[in-house]
A and B are shown apart, each in its own frame.
Chain A
Amino acid sequence: MAKMRGALRVGLSVAVLLGLTGCAGDFRYNWNWSILACTSENIDAGCIGPYFFWILEGLSWTIAVASAAWVIAFPLGSVFGILRTFDKPILVVVPFVKSPIYFRTRAIGTSKGIIWVNVAWFLHGFANVYVTIFRNVPLLVQLFLWYFVFPELLSDEAGMWVKREMPLPEFWTAVVCLGLYSASRVAEQVRAGINSISRGQQYAAMAIGLTPVQVYRYVLLPVAFRIIIPPLTSDFLGVFKNSSLALTIGVLELTAMTRQIEEYSYQGFEAFTAATVLYIGVTAIVMVAMRVVEGRVRIPGMISLEAK
């Protein structure tokens, strides 16, 4: 039943698309799908450039930007997400302070002439500030800040290196920017995943003598990461789609290449159709792959992992 409805929906969408195509026909647009196969400068078919290779190259850059950004976003976001769940104090003695300054805050305290610093309070606060800033500044603004403003803030030498000598400056700027931005989103998922585990699990893990680090390592994280596979998948797809913004600083990724084809051949509809199909194709592959992963790590007998 659900399958049939799905098929109906796809059918309708295709019909609407075809309708739009028909409208385009009214503007006397000359469809020429063969340009997508251009590999050489075959002027007859309108091949001013090897468009086929441009699209492939664009797709490769898109995948490269997204993957490299994810390599930053996933571990960094996980760390920040974990830090955001530190609500219990972690006390560390600071040995070299002679005259105890007594701050009436949650961060620092004294007992028996020793100064205790609540490290968790600082880490927690740092992670909160990070997530708030990176989630709430528009990605495009962040990209421009990294590309245009950041090198100016460095020392002359370092700034020069970033602008001139660094290999692939646009690419790496896009990767770092997208990576740090997406880390803030991953952090939110990880935090939500951990917090959705019932408090009793944490008590049980602590009660058998596991240290706080072990509680996370062996009990909370394995369950939390299973819970958040679906939202993490959409975050990864978000990185993939957001990578198209990199064209604004000159990375020749898929969308940029598509525009370039349009400018060369005036066959924008074909080029953008190709790009759309590729974006959807990669998304579908990732979704299917994550379904498989989800199935593989599914816990036997468990219907839902959410807290009881």
Chain B
Amino acid sequence: MNETKDTTGTDGGGMIEMNHVGKWYGEFQVLSNCSTSVNKGDVVVICGPSGSGKSTLIKVINGLEPFQEGTITFNGVSVGDRTTNLSKLRSQIGMVFQNFELFPHISIIENIKLAQMKVLGREDDEARNRSMELLERVGLSDQRDKFPAQLSGGQQQRVAIARGLAMDPIAMLFDEPTSALDPEMINEVLDVMTELANDGMTMMVVSHEMGFAKRVADRVIFMDEGYIVEDCSKDDFFGTPRGDRAQLFLSKILTH
């Protein structure tokens, strides 16, 4: 019924383009005048104090949350347009959450197969093979028949990354992927992400792991109270962050 637009649209600049985006929850403005652009292959780390709107910024990009002002285009397709087929658009963007959000009632491999079969229309065999490939890649092929609650947090998060990659996405969004993990599990997840970045995946990562940012980020965005207050290259950010808030934030983060 709804006219759907092809999501392999034209290349008008970056892969993700945000222009003057504003979002409200009722009266409360969560995002104010947010503009940025992410090119193919870029790794952008987003940081900022709690409640500054980082998660919301990630969620408006694939239309999980609506926004009221400005425009967002992903790969040339307008996210805010009512005629856009959002399900199709989302299937091209992998997303990883703080609390993993694996589906608890199906096994690990079924978690990875589900959308491949229901969204991409892959056959059972094909989906299974692709899932096994990815489980191999994140080092969990021996866990395929377990259920999410039977895995450790770090393992669950690696499965969640595999689930996102199974859709062959052209970009990945991460919302604090390691902040619910015990310290000894953080690295196993960051290693997978680093490898992904080195393979050229376009990534936006909300994270306070500054070591990770220093190693793999091309750019760092610093948010405060709904505004993007810094958006600069990694070297500029760690070398000479301009704003006081960013400096204060960095000193807190880095000394911990």
A-to-B contact residues, CB < 8 Å: 91-93, 111, 116, 198, 200-201, 203-212, 214, 218-219, 222-223, 226, 299-303, 305, 308
Contacts and interface: CB of A to CB of B under 8 A. Distances in A.
A299 B105 contact: yes
A97 to B, nearest CB: 15
A301 B155 CA distance: 14
Interface string B162-175: 01100100000000
B101 A211 contact: no
B90 A206 contact: yes
Secondary structure of the A side of the interface? Answer: mixed
Given A207-B62, A299-B149, A92 B1 contact: yes
Given A207-B93, A209-B115, A210-B118, A305 B104 contact: yes
B119 interface: yes
Interface of B: 1-2, 59, 62, 64, 82, 87-88, 90-95, 97, 99, 101-106, 114-115, 118-119, 146-150, 160, 163-164, 167
A91 B2 CA distance: 9
A301 B82 contact: no
Contacts, number: 92
Given A208-B94, A209-B87, 13 more contacts: A198-B99, A203-B59, A204-B102, A205-B103, A206-B87, A206-B90, A207-B62, A207-B94, A208-B91, A208-B164, A212-B87, A226-B105, A302-B149
B119 A210 contact: yes
B104 A209 contact: no
Contacts of A303: 149
B88 A209 contact: yes
Contacts of B102: 204
A300 B149 contact: yes
**Among B93, B102, B103, B163, which residue has the most Cβ atoms of chain A within 10 A?**
B103
B74 to A, nearest CB: 13
B87 A211 contact: yes
Given A205-B103, A299-B147, A200 B97 contact: yes
